Amino acid sequence: MDNILQKLLPMQPLASVEGRDNDTLMYLIHGLVLVLFVGWAIYYIVVLIKFRETKNSKAAESHVAHTVSSYVEWFVVVAEIVLLFAFSIPFWAVHQASVPEGKNIMEVKVVAQQFAWNVHYAGPDGRFGRASARFLEDNPLGLDPSDPDGKDDITTMNQVYLPVNKTVIFRLTSKDVIHSFGVPAMRVKQDIIPGMTTSAWFTPNKIGQYEIACSQLCGVGHYRMRGIINVVAQADFDQWIAQNKGIHD
Ligand SMILES: [Cu+2]
């Protein structure tokens, strides 16, 4: 079934646990729209033939009474109510309106700028160093050099490393204009607003490389505002953290 749907409506191969709900919703909405499209097309052709001018030289003043059309309308209304209340609203509540909590979750901070992604890891101590706009001239994330929590932090540009099968929450903000954190393979898209912190989260379940594409037109270099998410095995991730602690790229 999945293969047939994937052929009908090709999407990037899915690489997160939560993305499945997104894809189900996509298929259902497209399915309904397909039914509506075919229905309207048939109706259009029928009307063109049935009410052609040579057969109906005089316009009828009274409307055509049909019960079929009202059944069809009710079907569409019910289908849309089901899509909204049984799928879309629960999806929003689980994946967008709330952020998961618990132990097996890691946090990564991302500061977007024209036209790059600055990525900030807490390092082995699990605590993020303080950042302030005062230090932005010294380093791209504005890390305060006097804060001991920041000494082992790792910062990278356009490169994200994640262990597979672990939920990650991205805390997103921007230095300049509105950007959008779009990761198609994870089915995630979240606006990034200067002066605000927004969140996006997912659980990557396939080792590989995935693109972060800025999804909000943010200036002349928008097209090249790309990052890479490297999903690796937990052991490789631990090694990466150990090798890079304190390195601010
Ligand atoms: Cu951007």
Alpha-carbon distance of 77 to 187, in angstroms, equals: 28
Considering the chain, what is the average pLDDT of its residues? 90
Residues 157 and 203 placed together within one structural domain of the fold: yes
Task: Give the long-range contacts of residues 77-80, CB within 8 A, separation 24 or more.
Answer: 79/32, 80/32
> 232 and 133 share a domain?
yes
Bridge partners of residue 156, in order along the sequence: 119
| Listed residues 45, 73, 95: the one ending a domain | 95
Residue 158 has pLDDT above 80, yes or no: yes
Per-residue DSSP letter, 157: E
Number of domains within the chain:
2
pLDDT of residue 4: 81
C-alpha 180 – ligand 1 centre gap (Å): 6
From residue 121, how far is each of 64, 74, 155 by CA, in Å? 67, 52, 6
pLDDT band for 137, please (50, 70, 90 cuts): confident
Same domain, 192 and 156: yes
Residue 234 forms part of a structural domain: yes
Q: Are residues 82 and 154 in the same domain?
A: no
What CATH number is given to the structural domain containing 133? 2.60.40.420
Q: Specify if 100 maps to a domain.
A: no
In a domain, 240, yes or no: yes
pLDDT over 70, % of the chain = 99
* Model pLDDT for residues 45-58, shown as the tens digit of each residue: 998 998 888 888 88
Write out the two tokens for 2.
């999945």
Q: 178 C-alpha vs ligand 1 centroid, how far in Å?
A: 7
Averaged pLDDT for residues 230-245: 93
- Give the separation between CA 57 and CA 5, rounded to whole angstroms: 47
In the reported structure, the alpha carbon of residue 117 is separated from the centroid of ligand 1 by a whole-number distance in angstroms of 9
Q: How far apart are CA 206 and CA 17, in angstroms?
A: 9
For residues 125 and 226, membership in a common domain is answered with: yes
Q: Please tell me the predicted confidence (pLDDT) of residue 228.
A: 97
Radius of gyration of the chain (CA): 25
8 Å CB contact between 25 and 5: no
Q: Is 235 within 8 Å of 136 (Cβ atoms)?
A: no
Same-domain check for residues 71 and 132: no
Rounded CA gap, 197 and 128, in Å? 15
The dihedrals phi and psi of 238, each to the nearest 5 degrees, come to -60, -40
71 and 136 within one domain:
no
Is there a single domain that holds both residue 142 and residue 172? yes
Same domain, 91 and 167: no
**Any domain includes 158:** yes
Residue span of the structural domain in which 123 resides: 105-244
- Are residues 47 and 155 located together in one domain of the fold? no
User: What is the residue type of 153?
Assistant: D
Residue 228 and residue 210 in contact, taking contact as beta carbons nearer than 8 Å? yes
37 Cα: distance to centroid of ligand 1 (angstroms): 35
Query: How far is ligand 1, taken at its centre, from the CA of residue 196, in Å?
Result: 15
- Cα(210) to centroid(ligand 1), Å: 17
Q: Are residues 91 and 115 in the same domain?
A: no
What does the pLDDT read at residue 249? 64
Q: At what angle do helices 68-82 and 19-50 cross, to 10 degrees?
A: 170
pLDDT per residue as tens digits for the range 179-222: 999 999 999 999 999 999 999 999 999 999 999 999 999 999 99
**How close is the Cα of 171 to the center of ligand 1, in Å?**
16
Helices (H) and strands (E) in the chain, counts: 5, 10
